[in-house]
Chains A and B, each alone.
Chain A
Amino acid sequence: MAPQDRLIPAFSRAPSSPLQGYQTARPPLLDVADLCVAYGRREVVSNAGFRLERGRSLALIGESGSGKSTIARAILRLLPAEARASGHVAFEGQEVLSLPERRFRPLRGRAIGFVPQDPGHALNPVRTIGAQALEAAARLDSGVHDKAARKAHVLDIFAQVGLDQPQRVFDSYPHQLSGGMLQRVLIGLAVLPRPALLVADEPTSALDVTIQKRILDLLSRLREDLDIALLLITHDLAIAAERADRLVVLKDGRIQEEGRTAAVFAAPASAYARKLQGDVPALNPDRYRPLKDRAARQRAETAAGHDKIIVSGMTKRFLVDGRSLTAVDDVSFKVAAGTTHALVGESGSGKTTTIRLLLGLEQADEGEITIAGHRLRAGDRTSMRAVWRQLQLVYQNPFTSLDPSWTVERLVREPLDRFGIGERAERDERVRAALASVRLSEDLLSRRPGALSGGQRQRVAIARALVLKPDVIVLDEPTSALDVSVQAEIVEVLLSLQAELGLTYLFVSHDLALVRQLAETVSVMRHGRIIEDGRVAEIFDQPREAYTRTLLASIPSGASRNALLTPLETEPGRAAARVEVLA
Chain B
Amino acid sequence: MTYVLSATQTSSRLGAVIRIPPGVILAFAIIALVIGWSIAPGLFTGFDPAVGVPAQKLLGPSLDHWFGTDHLGRDLYARVVHGTASSVSSAFIAVAIGLFAGGLIGLAAGFLGGWTDIVLARLVDILLAIPRFLLAVIIVTALGFHTLNAAVATGIWEVAVFARVMRAEVIKTRQATFVEAAFLAGGSRWHILLRHVLPNASRSVLPLAVLHFGLSILVIAGLAFLGYGDPPPASDWGLLIATGKNYLKWPWLVYAPALVTIATVLSVNRISRWLRKTD
Asked if A454 is at the interface of the complex by the 8 Å CB criterion, the answer is yes
- Asked if A400 and B177 make an inter-chain contact with CB atoms under 8 angstroms apart, the answer reads yes
- Asked if A64 and B2 make an inter-chain contact with CB atoms under 8 angstroms apart, the answer reads yes
- Asked if B177 and A395 make an inter-chain contact with CB atoms under 8 angstroms apart, the answer reads yes
Asked if A397 is at the interface of the complex by the 8 Å CB criterion, the answer is yes
- Asked if A403 and B178 make an inter-chain contact with CB atoms under 8 angstroms apart, the answer reads yes
**Also in contact, A446 and B9, with CB within 8 A (given A393-B181, A418-B191):** yes
Give A residues with C-beta under 8 Å from B: 64-65, 359, 361, 385, 388-389, 392-393, 395, 397, 400-405, 414-415, 418-419, 443, 446-448, 451-454, 461, 464
User: Among the listed B2, B176, B187, B199, which residue makes an inter-chain contact with A418, where contact means beta carbons less than 8 Å apart?
Assistant: B187
Q: Which are the 7 A-B pairs with shortest beta-carbon distances? A: A418-B186, A415-B185, A400-B177, A64-B1, A453-B3, A403-B178, A65-B2
**Also in contact, A403 and B182, with CB within 8 A (given A395-B177, A451-B6):** yes
- Asked if A415 and B178 make an inter-chain contact with CB atoms under 8 angstroms apart, the answer reads no
B41 to chain A, nearest CB (A): 39
Residue of A nearest to B187 (CB): A418
- CB proximity to A under 8 Å, residues B231-268: none
- Asked if A415 and B176 make an inter-chain contact with CB atoms under 8 angstroms apart, the answer reads no
Residue of B nearest to A65 (CB): B2
- Asked if A65 and B191 make an inter-chain contact with CB atoms under 8 angstroms apart, the answer reads no
User: Among the listed A451, A453, A454, which residue makes an inter-chain contact with B9, where contact means beta carbons less than 8 Å apart?
Assistant: A451
Chain A proximity mask over B179-190: 1 for CB below 8 Å, otherwise 0:
111101111100
Which residues in B have their C-beta under 8 angstroms from that of A461?
A: 181
Q: How far is the CA of A402 from the CA of B181 in the complex (A)?
A: 8
Asked if B141 is at the interface of the complex by the 8 Å CB criterion, the answer is no
Q: How far is the CA of A461 from the CA of B181 in the complex (A)?
A: 10
Residue of A nearest to B180 (CB): A361
Interface residues in B, total, Cβ within 8 A: 25
- CB proximity to A under 8 Å, residues B1-27: 1-3, 5-6, 8-9, 12
- Asked if A65 and B1 make an inter-chain contact with CB atoms under 8 angstroms apart, the answer reads yes
Which residues in A have their C-beta under 8 angstroms from that of B204?
A: none
**Also in contact, A385 and B186, with CB within 8 A (given A401-B177, A401-B178, A401-B181):** yes
Cross-chain pairs A/B with CB under 8 angstroms, 7 sampled: A65-B1, A400-B177, A400-B178, A402-B178, A403-B196, A404-B178, A464-B181
Which residues in B have their C-beta under 8 angstroms from that of A415?
A: 185-186
Give B residues with C-beta under 8 Å from A: 1-3, 5-6, 8-9, 12, 176-182, 184-188, 191, 196, 199-200, 203
Which residues in A have their C-beta under 8 angstroms from that of B8?
A: 443
Q: How far is the CA of A567 from the CA of B185 in the complex (A)?
A: 49
New A-B contacts (9) at CB < 8 Å, excluding given A414-B182, A414-B185: A388-B184, A401-B181, A403-B178, A403-B179, A405-B199, A448-B9, A451-B6, A451-B9, A461-B181
**Also in contact, A451 and B178, with CB within 8 A (given A393-B184, A418-B186):** no
- Asked if A403 and B9 make an inter-chain contact with CB atoms under 8 angstroms apart, the answer reads no
B264 to chain A, nearest CB (A): 31
Which residues in A have their C-beta under 8 angstroms from that of B1?
A: 64-65, 454
B278 to chain A, nearest CB (A): 12
Which residues in B have their C-beta under 8 angstroms from that of A414?
A: 182, 185, 187
Residue of A nearest to B8 (CB): A443
Residue of B nearest to A356 (CB): B180
Which residues in B have their C-beta under 8 angstroms from that of A448?
A: 9
Residue of B nearest to A396 (CB): B177
**Also in contact, A359 and B184, with CB within 8 A (given A64-B1, A397-B177, A405-B199):** yes
Which residues in A have their C-beta under 8 angstroms from that of B199?
A: 405
- Asked if A454 and B3 make an inter-chain contact with CB atoms under 8 angstroms apart, the answer reads yes
Residue of A nearest to B6 (CB): A451
Residue of B nearest to A405 (CB): B199
Which residues in A have their C-beta under 8 angstroms from that of B9?
A: 446-448, 451
Q: How far is the CA of A448 from the CA of B203 in the complex (A)?
A: 15
- Asked if B176 and A400 make an inter-chain contact with CB atoms under 8 angstroms apart, the answer reads yes
Which residues in B have their C-beta under 8 angstroms from that of A454?
A: 1, 3
B279 to chain A, nearest CB (A): 10
Which residues in A have their C-beta under 8 angstroms from that of B203?
A: 405
Q: How far is the CA of A64 from the CA of B2 in the complex (A)?
A: 6
Which residues in A have their C-beta under 8 angstroms from that of B12?
A: 451
A234 to chain B, nearest CB (A): 15
B186 to chain A, nearest CB (A): 4
Q: How far is the CA of A395 from the CA of B1 in the complex (A)?
A: 19
A480 to chain B, nearest CB (A): 13
Residue of A nearest to B173 (CB): A403
